[in-house]
Amino acid sequence: MRKTRIATYAICATLLMAAGCKTNTVDKMAFKSAINDYYKAKPVCVWTTTVKFPAQADTSNDDQTKGFDALVDAGLLTRQSAEKKRFLIGSKQVNNYDLSDKGRSTWTADPSQPGYGNFCVGPREVTNIDSYTPPDNPNATQYSVAYHYDIAGAPGWATSPETKTAFPALAADLSGQQTATAALVKSSNGWQVSSVQGPSASDLPK
């Protein structure tokens, strides 16, 4: 009789432990890996879309020239002044920009569009998973995940005052730890990011 009671207690304890283990089986590392994979395909760059060089900008249009001029100061572009003639109304001053030798070694070419590309500093990387919703359903197939991220090892040209002023979205991403929220959906290939909301989400390359 005693042996039977001991065996019964052991079975009950095992069942209770198993039940307890199932109360929190959400794999936060899987969330982190999925978000990092998403960011690897979308590196942080100075422009949200690719740009073609050589390029020309009107010297009187600061919106056109400030980004290019900041990259000239960083040594990534060259600049030459020129005069562009306009039909019947004289001429205007322009700047012609092209990649410098340093710029060519830093340039990330767009394989789908010859001549187009971007200057990129690397991907965002998740540093901590802060929370997830729903918090009490380990079998859910969709989660909203809040996290912190940063960008490590940004090159010197990206952190210069001129570059940060000309590209405020880039400056925000390089200012330290940032927060964002991702919607994750479970698929046959694991967790996939369906959308991201955060300070720089709108600036992710398309």
Condensed to tens digits (0 to 9), the pLDDT of residues 27-60 reads: 999 999 999 999 998 899 999 899 999 999 999 8
Residue among 75, 20, 31 at smallest CA distance from 193: 31
Predicted pLDDT at 88: 60
Show the low-confidence residues of the chain (pLDDT under 50). Answer: 8-9, 12, 15-16, 18-23, 201-202, 205-206
Q: What ranges do the domains of the chain cover?
A: 25-203
pTM, rounded to two decimals? 0.74
Name 146's bridge partners: 131, 181
Predicted pLDDT at 49: 92
Cβ-based burial of 83 (10 A; exposed 0-12, middle 13-18, buried ≥19):
exposed
- The percent of residues above 90 in pLDDT, for the chain, comes to 64
